[in-house]
């Protein structure tokens, strides 16, 4: 039977006001910060050849379990992007821009994840990537930009950092790790044993308490870093100290994607539930561009989860006001088709936020609309005003009203708005 109503699919939602304004504000703030640090925007397509993402590593959940992949009508295997980094590296390999290539991005990603609060199948990220430099100072700058973003939002976050060493050191470490977990195999959960056979590194951030307890005793990669990787990590820590950015070193921080080497980091918002409190993270991925068919250029970057950051801001009570309030409401009691149109258009062209009622509603109903809109001023055009070429400008706060010549409307509205603001400031102070 055909369905007559529809709802959003699991893990997706409509973002309505005021959330939509908050989201936009957050992206704008991020864009300004990134542009102020020399980053240019990249808007990659939302779907790519599936292989662009499988090169991230088959052991990542994002690739093995959560990819939205399908065959298109042309027989191509394509996938909705689960993250931006792979697309940015693919773009670098495609265009070979001069290095260091600094880009920022914002937009939705898709992961077939188990939906819950703070975990969606379509979610937004903002982030940056820098391709073409090994300099550990860049790692510091990248982390500092994320920290500045959270600071500007007024959101308290906790930063954890780690070094995963170089890919060349990885096999020896993986062997150590594997034998440690094999020794403890009987105490591991079924799921952990499955992970062990794919990638023992992923077991380090196991969430089940029993597995986590075993992971806590595992050999750490920090003890087996090469001299170069150890020196780079020391430089990153020094840089963060210089900038007075607080952090803790967490040798268990491996993050979900396999391609990271050297610096990794994650920001958590303590106000959110532990399982979903990561608001952003990133690190170095020095082999990824090459894995995507590009030159062997290193990369570093991060992605911040926008939906979760907004949840954290809400929990912390630091959401910015949406700034969407209407300034002025137009009440047209003449029923004349043109008056409402002309007055509203003039107000909007002058830069004021103006709205009106429709369908020839009664004066009373229009005044109700005006009240509900939060507008500080109403412009009223009745028969009387029509015949005398005037309008009435009414303060919604105290109901005072003055009739002015149509040519004086903008000045009168502006002065009404200014008075409204003064009154409000006065009230806020008392």
The site for ligand AMP (CB under 6 A) is made up of 83, 111, 113, 118-120, 123, 125, 256, 278-281, 303, 305, 307-308
User: CB 316 → ligand AMP: shortest distance, Å?
Assistant: 15
User: CB 219 → ligand AMP: shortest distance, Å?
Assistant: 24
Q: Omega into 100 within 30° of 0, i.e. cis?
A: yes
Sign of CA dihedral 153, 159, 163, 164: negative
Give me the residue whose beta carbon is nearest to ligand AMP.
305
Q: Which is nearer to ligand AMP, 264 or 357 (CB)?
A: 264
Q: Count CB-CB contacts under 10 A for residue 365.
A: 13
User: CB 211 → ligand AMP: shortest distance, Å?
Assistant: 20
User: CB 308 → ligand AMP: shortest distance, Å?
Assistant: 4
User: CB 145 → ligand AMP: shortest distance, Å?
Assistant: 15
Q: Which is nearer to ligand AMP, 177 or 310 (CB)?
A: 310
Q: Which is nearer to ligand AMP, 118 or 132 (CB)?
A: 118
User: CB 239 → ligand AMP: shortest distance, Å?
Assistant: 22
Residues 105, 34: contact at Cβ < 8 Å? no
Q: Which is nearer to ligand AMP, 150 or 329 (CB)?
A: 150
Q: Which is nearer to ligand AMP, 92 or 105 (CB)?
A: 105
Q: Which is nearer to ligand AMP, 39 or 120 (CB)?
A: 120
């Amino acid at each position: 039977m055909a369905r007559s109503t529809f709802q959003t699919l699991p893990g997706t939602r409509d973002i309505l006001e005021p959330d939509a304004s908050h989201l936009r504000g957050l992206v704008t703030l991020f864009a300004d910060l990134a542009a102020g640090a020399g980053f240019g925007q990249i808007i990659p397509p939302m779907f790519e050849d599936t292989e662009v993402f499988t090169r991230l590593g088959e052991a990542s959940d994002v690739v093995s379990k959560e990819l939205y992949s399908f065959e298109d009508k042309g027989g191509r295997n394509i996938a909705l992007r689960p993250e931006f980094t792979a697309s940015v590296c693919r773009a670098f390999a495609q265009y070979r821009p001069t290095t260091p290539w600094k880009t920022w991005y914002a937009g939705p990603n898709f992961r077939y994840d188990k939906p819950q609060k703070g975990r969606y199948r379509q979610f937004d990220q903002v982030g940056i990537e820098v391709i073409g430099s090994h300099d550990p100072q860049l790692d510091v700058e990248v982390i500092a930009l994320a920290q500045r973003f959270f600071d500007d939002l007024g959101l308290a976050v906790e930063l954890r950092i780690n070094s995963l060493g170089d890919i060349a050191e990885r096999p020896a470490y993986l062997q150590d790790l594997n034998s440690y977990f094999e020794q403890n195999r009987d105490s591991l959960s079924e799921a952990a044993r499955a992970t062990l056979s794919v990638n023992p590194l992923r077991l380090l951030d196991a969430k089940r308490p029993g597995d986590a307890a075993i992971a806590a005793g595992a050999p750490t990669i920090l003890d087996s870093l090469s001299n170069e990787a150890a020196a780079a990590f020391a430089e990153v820590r020094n840089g963060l100290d210089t900038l007075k950015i607080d952090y803790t070193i967490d040798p268990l921080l491996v993050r979900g994607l396999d391609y990271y080497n050297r610096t990794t980091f994650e920001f958590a918002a303590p106000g959110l539930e532990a399982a979903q409190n990561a608001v952003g993270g990133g690190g170095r991925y020095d082999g990824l561009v090459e894995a995507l068919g590009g030159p062997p250029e290193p990369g570093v970057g991060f992605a911040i989860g926008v939906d979760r950051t907004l949840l954290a801001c809400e929990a912390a009570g630091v959401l910015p006001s949406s700034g969407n309030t209407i300034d002025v409401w137009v009440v047209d009691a003449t029923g004349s088709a043109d008056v409402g149109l002309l007055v509203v258009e003039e107000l909007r062209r002058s830069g004021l936020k103006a709205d009106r009622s429709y369908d020839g509603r009664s004066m009373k109903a229009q005044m109700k609309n005006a009240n509900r809109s939060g507008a500080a001023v109403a412009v009223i055009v009745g028969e009387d005003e029509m015949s005398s070429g005037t309008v009435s400008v009414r303060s919604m706060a105290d109901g005072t009203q003055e009739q002015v010549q149509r040519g004086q409307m903008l000045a009168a509205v502006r002065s009404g708005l200014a008075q409204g603001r003064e009154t409000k400031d006065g009230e806020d102070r008392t």
